[in-house]
Amino acid sequence: MNSPLLPGSTIGILGSGQLGRMLAIAAKQLGYRVAIYSPETNTPAGQVADVEAVGDYLDEERLADFAQRVSVITFEFENVPSRASEVAAQHTIVRPTGSVLHITQERLREKAFLRDHGFPTTPFCAVKSYAELRAATRELGLPAVLKTASFGYDGKGQQKVYAQSDLERVFAALGGAVGIYEAWVDFEKEISVVAARTADGQFAAYPVFENRHAHHILDVTFAPATISPQLAKEATDLAAGILEKLGVIGLLTVEMFVTKSGELLVNELAPRTHNSGHLTIDACTTSQFEQQIRAVCCLPLGSTALRHPAAMANLLGDVWSKGEPNWAAALRDPDVKLHLYGKAEARKGRKMGHLTAGALGVEAAIERVISARERLLS
């Protein structure tokens, strides 16, 4: 069904965190009603939605009832069980489809998909036993990275393996989960491409974002990335190919490494909006959140043009370590924008919000947003 779902329809979102919150806000600005489904209540997304339905993702009866009440279902994160997507699809449209979710929510399936379709990625091996881990070190060498195959983000479930003496420790840390052993990539930088595709094949990508991390969590993103126009085109073309092969209807983020020799390697896929795309709310003609709504509702995609160089800085719970942050000090710069996610408790490492800033040049934008964040502690 490729006919547009017009404003006034109800969009169902599985997941209720900050991505769902910003997605719901974008949908309501376009005139849609929004229903959220997750196992929790009074959530960041539920606070702004028209309906906050509470239920387990594997409660098929409750999920079926939810699906029957909405015109389309989309996701705010990929760690929703595939079965939930299958149940929902029996009662309404689901975009992207459950097959996209199934591939991207498990690293082995995702890496195999990329490899089998000719997309450049890091060499990898499955690790289901200690013997397989030892064999992987012989095949791919050391150092390397051992990750849990499922439910990993922001560095969770990842361990660097330096030497043979580390093997028993890192294997035990898997806790019986299936692992993926990836060859070490001595990369120069990480970039990401956030792109959308409609049911009739229309494609649009944002300018390439460059990402800097601290303690495995995204710290600062800026655009345009400091790469050549040719490499930016290669990254965008890679993303276009991946969305087409997956058959994505909606939004997909492609995280990539730029190696020191100037090659691109696809690191991870996320079938949703992405932390690195938050600056699009203030810096682009169409935000990534509005774009996802347009794509899943079969509306024409919006312009992804970057109005000016921009940077985004994450606000983690650490910012609250000395009490309430000094919001007035951060916003003393009139070109700094604040986005808070409505989370009740600030915990160390928890994403609580973000700041964005624009400038005439990307380095100035980075300096402006970091300075604003530092003033929060003043």
Q: Are 253 and 274 in contact (CB under 8 A)?
A: yes
d(CA 28, CA 178): 40
Q: What's the confidence (pLDDT) of residue 113?
A: 98
Cα(11)–Cα(88) distance, rounded to whole angstroms? Answer: 13
Whole-number pLDDT of residue 152: 62
The 10s digit of each residue's pLDDT in 146-202 is 999 987 666 567 899 999 999 999 999 999 999 999 999 989 999 999 999 999 999
- Cβ atoms of 181 and 125 within 8 Å: the answer is yes
In three-state secondary structure terms, 264 is strand
Helices (H), 151-204: 167-173
| Residue 178: per-residue pLDDT | 96
Tokens encoding 46: 């539920």
Selection from 79, 121, 85 nearest residue 272 by Cα:
79
Identify residue 48 by its one-letter amino acid code.
V
Q: Hey, what amino acid is at 99?
A: S
Dist. CA 346–CA 103, nearest whole Å: 33
pLDDT recorded at residue 218: 95
Domains along the chain? 10-94 (3.40.50.20), 123-183 (3.30.1490.20), 187-375 (3.30.470.20)
Nearest to 191 by CA among 309, 78, 110, 276: 276
pLDDT < 70 regions, the chain: 1, 152-156
What pTM does this model have?
0.96
Name the residue among 202, 17, 196, 5 with its Cα closest to residue 93.
Answer: 5
Per-residue pLDDT, 150: 87
User: Which tokens in the block code for residue 297?
Assistant: 């509702």
